Structures are given as C-alpha cells and as structure tokens.
A and B are shown apart, each in its own frame.
Chain A
Amino acid sequence: MYGNDFGPKIDDTEPDDPVLLETFDRTIAAGERIEPRDAMPSGYRKTLIRQIAQHAHSEIIGMQPEGNWITRAPSLRRKAILMAKVQDEAGHGLYLYAAAETLGASREEVLDLLHAGKQKYSSIFNYPTVTWADMGAIGWLVDGAAIVNQVPICRCSYGPYARAMVRICKEESFHQRQGFEILNTLSHGTPAQRAMAQDAIDRWWWPSLMMFGPPDDQSPNSAQSMAWGIKRFSNDELRQRFVDMIVPQAAVLELTLPDPELRWNADSEHWDFGPIEWDEFFRVLKGDGPCNEQRIAHRRRAHADGAWVREAALAYADKTAIRTAAVA
C-alpha cells in the first residue's frame, strides 16, 4: 500500500529546488499522485508528516475510551465486536505510521513526540466513556464524523496517505454501523436503556461537531492544504455534510439531538444548527479536558511496559541471525 520506496535523507534546511518543484506543481495540477521519492516542497512534506502522525496518534489513543468497556460489554457478541473494532484502530494507526515513514519520519520518533506531548491527537478522545451507550455514540457519531472527514482524503494528492485511507474507510463503515446498532437497541429497549442512549447523544453531539475544526474564517492553514490537494473540502462544508447525514438517522433512532436551533432550511436544503462552544474545544485541546492526563499517561505506561518485549525480540533476532550465519 505504501511502497516504502524511500528517498534520500531529508534535510529540512535545504532550499527547494525550483526545477524539481516544477514537476511537483505539474503533477498536482494534473490531479495525479505524489509518490515517496518525488521531489516535493519542504512545506508539503512537513504538513503531511504532522497531519499523518497526528492522525495515527488519534487512532491509537482512540483505542482507550473503547477499551474501557471491553470487560463490561453486555454480551459475548458485543464484546467480540468491540474487541474487533479496537483491534482495527490499532491497525489504522499502523497503516498511518507507515505512511508517515515514507516521508522520512520514523515511527519511534513520532511516538516519542506524542509521549512528550509535542504532537497531539484529536481532542474528542479526551472525553470519558461513562456508560455502555457511549460505545454506541462513539461508533455512530465520532466514527461517523471521522468517515466524513476521511473519505475525501482517499483522493489526497499524496499516494501512500490516500491508499491508507481507502483501507481505513472500508473498515470504518463497520464501526459506524455497530455504533448505530447499539443505540438502536437501547433506544427501543427499556425506559432506562432509552435514557442512557439519549444521555450519550447529549454528551457526544457537540464534541463530534467540533471534530471538523474551527469555522472556515478561523482556519488559516486550509487554503494551502487545499491548493496542495491534501484537503478537498473546508471544515464547514464537511460539518454540514455530517449534520445532514445524521439528522435523518437520529429520527430512526427516535433520539433527540441536543440542539434547539436545529431545523430544516428549505432555501439552502440543509439542516441549520446552533452555535458551537469553541471555548470548550480550545480548553480541551490545550489539556483541560476530562481525560487528557489519563490518556497520555496510559499510552506512556503501555509503551514503557512493552519495552522489554521489543528489546527481547530484537535480541532473539540478532542471536538467530548469528547462528544462521555460522551454519551457512
């Protein structure tokens, strides 16, 4: 998928060669894909490394809120499904780290940056999962928003990233359906189950809308990313697409989206929605969310606890290689 056909060692200080960049511009203009060893502007490379690495971090940190419910899933069926989903998230992280590596960022290096708090992950995962219904809300709303965000990246100008996204999007569609199924079962169950489903929607709706990022007029990087073919649609366009997709589904669930201003606009043929609390978003992103410390501490601990396994496997591989060489 990635074709780790690595280029020369990257020197960030080297100025971009205008002749080589002509080929880059021509390729982008023709709507063709950039591949790992092609010449590319250093800004393009840096933007992609940052984006793909933080996307990968989001996938693996995203395992935590759901991993929280594996031991308490209400049935064996639900438990098996949830485990498969969490395993998928690990796989998504791996596809993306591999894509970042084609740009010259090593996996160890970007993980170190995550653990040091220098690179981030999506702030949505700093909210706690307090009831079983949250598994439904994450699948339906959070993965639903992720799909809306990710589908256009399948056509991203950078080949390895686009190929990773094709694979991820195929797998995400199961995630969203399983979330919807959980909520549909709860919302048509006992009054207590129904209330639990509604409570989860009430907590996850607004953070899901924030996943698309600030309004277009406050999103200064978007224009460059769009010119490079990394981003295809603006934050507000994608957010609107998500709302239009979710509202009819909420009707089937017979649950209420917690926005009194939500109404159909016959002129625009879209659903209008109320203002988003951006202060909360920035607060969570800066580190004041309910679970920021817990998430990163758990990730650091898991990485440290696994260090001996990584070292032992390398030592065993080294020993085997020496023995094989001696026999040959």
Chain B
Amino acid sequence: MAGAPNGGSASDDQDRLQVHAEGGHGAVPTAGVPIHEPGGPARDWPLWEVFVRARRGLSHSHVGSLHAPDATMALRNARDVYTRRQEGVSLWVVPAGMITASSPDEKDQFFDPAADKIYRHPTFYDVPAGVDHL
C-alpha cells in the first residue's frame, strides 16, 4: 500500500474519505474498511467469561470476558481488568466454550411452557377485600 502505514489507498485521494464519528474517540473512516482478514488469524488464547461477586451476600454476576492461556492467568487478568476500582470480593472465570446456552432461535418453544401457567403468580388469585398479609 502506498503512503504512510495508517494512510488511505490511492483511490481515496480521488474523493474525500467517507468518515463518521462512530465509536467514542472520534471520527474514523467508514467506507472501504474490511472487517475480516482473508486467511484468518493465528491461534489466540482461549476466551474466558468473568463473574464477579460485588460484595458479600450477593451472587456472582457476569461482567465480561477476556483471553488468557490458562485459568491462573485468566484470574489475574480478570482482577486487573474488571476489579480495578474495588468492584468485587470474589472472581470466577469459566472457559467460554464450557457454557451451554439456550438459543434465541428456540426461544418460543423453549420458554413457552411457562406462559400458560399464570396460576404460578400470586396476582392470579382474587383476594377478598379486608384480607391482609396474604
């Protein structure tokens, strides 16, 4: 590619680059920007999902993910990335590949059984006037 490493291609010089203030740190080109590299990348570290217990008495909640070669490094990196401001008192890291998820495609069938059992909710029942603490 001609020009500076971060420069546009020669065809960009014909007309002004298409740019857009997308993303937070300011305007970047939006036209002619590829999103996949032919041939694919080298082997990356595995992906881990990170869960943080914000304080005692709460359950762990998913906060994000990161790449790390093994569980020990995943924990250390999770500490540095997700608890820099005392966001937690306990961390879990789970290999992303070990998580089994329901798929949005099967959403209707998968969650349908709950829809016709409204008698599971207290609001289903009529309570006569004057009955308290029920």
* Residues in chain A within 8 A of chain B (CB atoms): 1-6, 12, 35, 37-39, 46, 49-55, 58-59, 62, 84, 87-88, 91, 94-95, 98, 101, 105-113, 116-126, 142, 145-147, 149-150, 153, 164-165, 167-168, 171, 210-214, 218-222, 225, 230-231, 235, 238, 281-282, 285-288, 292-293, 295-297, 300, 310, 313-314, 316-317, 320-321
Contact = CB atoms under 8 A, between A and B. Distances in A.
B7 A288 contact: yes
Contacts of B28: 54-55, 58, 120-123, 285
B64 A120 contact: no
A6 B28 CA distance: 27
Interface in B5-33: 5-8, 12-13, 16-30, 33
Contact of A35 (B19, B33, B85, B104): B104
B43 A58 contact: no
- For chain A, what secondary structure do more than half of its interface residues adopt (helix, strand, loop), or is it mixed? helix
Interface on chain B toward A: helix, strand, loop, or mixed SS? loop
Nearest to B70: A317
A4 B30 contact: no
5 contacts: A55-B24, A55-B25, A58-B24, A116-B37, A230-B22
A118 B37 CA distance: 10
B48 to A, nearest CB: 9
Given A88-B84, A317-B70, A287 B104 contact: no
Contacts of B13: 286
B60 interface: no
Contacts of B34: 113, 118-119
A98 B18 contact: no
A106 B7 contact: no
Contacts of A98: 64-66
Interface residues of B, number: 56
B36 A91 contact: no
Nearest to B64: A1
B24 A221 contact: no
Contacts of B4: 287-288, 292-293, 296
B6 A293 contact: yes
Given A214-B19, A313-B69, A3 B25 contact: no
A292 B64 contact: no
Given A122-B25, A225-B22, A231-B22, 11 more contacts: A94-B66, A98-B66, A101-B47, A108-B42, A113-B34, A117-B5, A123-B26, A145-B26, A211-B21, A213-B21, A213-B26
Interface string B88-125: 00000000100101011100000000000000000000
Given A54-B28, A105-B35, A212-B27, A286 B3 contact: yes
Contact of B64 (A2, A300, A321): A2
Q: Across chains A and B, which 4 residue pairs bring their CB atoms closest together, nearest first?
A: A287-B7, A55-B23, A213-B21, A211-B26
B130 interface: no
Given A58-B25, A314-B69, A296 B5 contact: yes
B1 interface: yes
A168 B63 CA distance: 13
Nearest to A164: B64
B42 A211 contact: no
Contact of A210 (B16, B23, B26, B63): B26
